[in-house]
């Protein structure tokens, strides 16, 4: 299957996403004190109102810079990160989502980054438009039923933590295929499924490179692909041990190469810079550039 084979549009509520004509950008808003990327807005010194204000300002900037999605997460997903309670996660994300839904236009898509059904339920009630589940419906048995009941899209990520790996691309395809089956059995619409290869989630540097190199093979699953490489540790290792603050160019390379392999959405911390990468890449691979006067 071609890396750019057309997919049907994703329709729900008052939203529509058309695949293949452009690469969508998802801006990350971490409402956590311990994000691996160092951009978490939450810490013990800030009261809730200030955290919400910071999140609104960051999200508004991302939208102005071209982001279609804003992804809000209340628990760090880095390796060895401390788990937070459901109550704490809700307390972090729900006020932010409620404020963003109030202050951003309806065309901005809000995604909640959680693997817990109760967090997702309250996030959707607060204004989230879709669920981004790093465990692809496998962690919480109620998540699939919730997404089906609410008729919202889900992002299913391949998570290799604890997985018996044999050959990484085949492993990821097998994992995602099983997740898609779970979603469909629960009643989630085929058109409401997005897949993510899970770069950095239980994968080595070599495996991450293989997934990027062969990302187009995931097109065999017939669903849009989200790619999340932004500031990942693999980039720092490949570039000689660079800290998170110096991984912009490495991230840009992975975004451009991912688009060339068929990525439909890129999830990033640096929206302004990556939007330029996306526009340039789309001009080449999707022929989106319009000559003046044409």
Residue 48 CB neighbour total at 10 angstroms: 12
232 catalytic, yes or no?
yes
Question: How far from 265 is each of 127, 195, 197, CA to CA, in Å?
Answer: 21, 10, 12
The residue annotated as part of the active site, out of 92, 121, 232, 247, is 232
92 catalytic, yes or no?
no
Output b/e per residue, 99-118; b: 16+ Cβ within 10 A: bbeeebeeebbbbbbbbbbb
Quote the DSSP letter at residue 66: T
The residue annotated as part of the active site, out of 267, 276, 279, 286, is 267
Question: How far from 19 is each of 3, 148, 154, 155, 252, CA to CA, in Å?
Answer: 12, 22, 16, 15, 21
Cβ proximity of 239 and 247 under 8 Å: yes
Q: Residues with catalytic annotation?
A: 232, 267
């Amino acid at each position: 299957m071609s890396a750019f084979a057309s997919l049907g549009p994703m329709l729900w509520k008052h939203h529509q996403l058309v695949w293949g004509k452009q690469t969508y950008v998802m801006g990350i808003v971490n409402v956590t004190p311990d994000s691996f990327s160092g951009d978490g807005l939450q810490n013990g010194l800030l009261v809730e109102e200030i955290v919400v204000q910071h999140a609104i300002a960051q999200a508004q900037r991302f939208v102005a810079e071209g982001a279609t999605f804003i992804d809000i997460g209340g628990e760090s997903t880095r390796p060895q990160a401390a788990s937070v309670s459901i109550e704490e996660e809700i307390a972090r994300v729900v006020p932010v989502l409620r404020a963003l839904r109030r202050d951003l236009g309806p065309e901005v898509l809000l995604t909640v980054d959680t693997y817990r059904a109760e967090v997702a339920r309250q996030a959707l009630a607060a204004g989230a438009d879709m669920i981004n589940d790093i465990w692809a419906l496998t962690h919480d048995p109620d998540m699939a039923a919730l997404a089906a009941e609410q008729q919202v899209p889900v992002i299913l990520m391949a998570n290799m933590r604890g997985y018996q790996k044999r050959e990484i691309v085949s492993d990821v395809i097998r994992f995602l295929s099983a997740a898609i089956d779970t979603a469909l059995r629960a009643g989630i619409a085929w058109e409401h499924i997005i897949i993510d290869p899970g770069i950095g989630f239980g994968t080595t540097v070599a495996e991450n490179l293989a997934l990027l190199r062969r990302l187009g093979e995931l097109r065999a699953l017939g669903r849009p692909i989200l790619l999340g490489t932004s500031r990942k540790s693999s980039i720092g290792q490949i570039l000689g041990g660079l800290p998170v603050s110096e991984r912009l160019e490495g991230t840009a390379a992975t975004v451009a190469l991912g688009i060339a392999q068929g990525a439909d959405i890129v999830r990033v911390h640096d929206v302004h810079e990556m939007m330029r990468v996306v526009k340039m890449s789309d001009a080449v691979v999707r022929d989106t550039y319009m000559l003046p006067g044409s």
